[in-house]
Structure 1
């Protein structure tokens, strides 16, 4: 009886073996990981017209003053290194521009006009031929107008860094004043000069219309002779107006 039971169990196991192999353990299927591509941050729109205003501070000018003395158009005297004029002061301006955009690059022209209190006055005194003499010379910026090209790179949707290069036209005054034995005299000579500008800045969007910017600009107006005339006597000095300007302002996009 035991022998038959043993064969029966063995036969049952033999019959189950194929079934176990057919429908038994199945290795799990490993799915490949899903790679999600990063979503590119959109580049904001900087194109179109805009207008703005700013306040600034001018500094860093160095105008070395000297005089040539002419009588009947003949040079009779020369004095160099009398003093240095370092014009500086607060100013402000307005501008109007247009920008095109190609991807992250932004470029376009800008017209500017500015004025303020940019000036310096230097002087001295002494005894000349027994007379007490004092003299003072003032250099003053009346206004500056210009056009510049701006090219910028959008570094994130709200921020652009840029550089500038342009043409500037300035209107200036040279004021010569003095006294001899207590008698005061003064003469003002106005002149204009053309030059170039270079700059760099950063602009940050506040919303779709408004933005703020900070900018540095250098302006150089070359050399201009300024003449103070009295009858047949001419006193000539060479003006070399140049300075740096720091600006902080806002733009409004149309």
Structure 2
């Protein structure tokens, strides 16, 4: 074999070796691991929608008031001397009302004002023996209440709202003192008045349909103190302190 041919064959063999090495190096550096499909699909979690409570509404209420605590004591008007505590008026009775309100909603929070008017037979009468040998009766009756309430609630379920109540109220109160003496005489004096007070409470409301819901509420109403003057027995006065607890059922209609 000639020297030229030997040199050519050696060069060809060397070139083939270099090409094979480069190919192996390229494959080693560019290796990509195969992708294996596990077949597992991540679950999609859906959040339950919050019901729409916003907007105007009107409704009716039916309640029963109880637990009033109006202590009755008399003072002499001329001297201011205290004549003593003669008993307690425990106001109670059925009441009914109408209401209208508007609500705004931020996510699960619902809030807004409500104007209500209630009337009924929230009253009581107590009697005692007087110093003239007869009997004296004191009667107190909440004739009606006009209230502006602020209600703030939280949607615990799409169709269920729980809320708190705080408001200002104006009550018209009928207050009467009547009595007899040992000689057959009698007297009766009215001292009706209107008084502003406050209302606090809690409630729950459940949707029956998109536009109708039922409510259950507990409220406490207090109307402070009001001095009532009478000419009986030379002039006496007492302080009326009407208050009561109230359980109410209601029906609302959304506009």
The TM-score normalised by the length of structure 1 is 0.82
Q: Does 1:206 align with 2:216?
A: no
Paired positions, count? 221
88, 102, 105: which one pairs with 1:101? Answer: 105
How far 1:76 moved relative to its partner? 6.1
How far 1:69 moved relative to its partner? 1.6
169, 192, 195: which one pairs with 2:194? Answer: 192
State the Cα deviation string for residues 41-73 of structure 1 (Å, max 9, x = none).
111100000000110011111111111122xxx
- Residue 4 of structure 1: aligned partner: none
Partners of 2:111 and 2:51 lie apart in 1 by 14
- Give the RMSD, CA atoms, in angstroms: 1.9
Matches within 5 A, 1:87-236: 87-125=91-129, 128=131, 132-180=133-181, 181-229=183-231, 233-236=234-237
How far 1:30 moved relative to its partner? 5.4
Partners of 2:146 and 2:80 lie apart in 1 by 38
Q: Specify every segment of 5 or more residues in structure 1 that has no aligned partner in the other structure, as ranges.
A: 1-28
Which portions of structure 1, spanning 4 or more consecutive aligned residues, are displaced by more than 6 angstroms? Answer: none
Q: Specify every segment of 5 or more residues in structure 2 that has no aligned partner in the other structure, as ranges.
A: 1-35
Partners of 2:56 and 2:211 lie apart in 1 by 11
- Residue 52 of structure 2: aligned partner: 45
28, 38, 57: which one pairs with 1:31? Answer: 38
- Residue 69 of structure 1: aligned partner: 76
State the Cα deviation string for residues 232-251 of structure 1 (Å, max 9, x = none).
94321001111111100100
Partners of 2:201 and 2:80 lie apart in 1 by 43
Change (3 A) 1:76 1:154: closer
Structure (1/2) with the larger strand percentage: 1
How far 1:184 moved relative to its partner? 2.6
How far 1:125 moved relative to its partner? 2.4
How far 1:182 moved relative to its partner? 2.6
State the Cα deviation string for residues 137-173 of structure 1 (Å, max 9, x = none).
1111111111011111011110000001110111101
Higher Rg of the two aligned structures: 2
Partners of 1:205 and 1:194 lie apart in 2 by 33
Change (3 A) 1:30 1:50: same
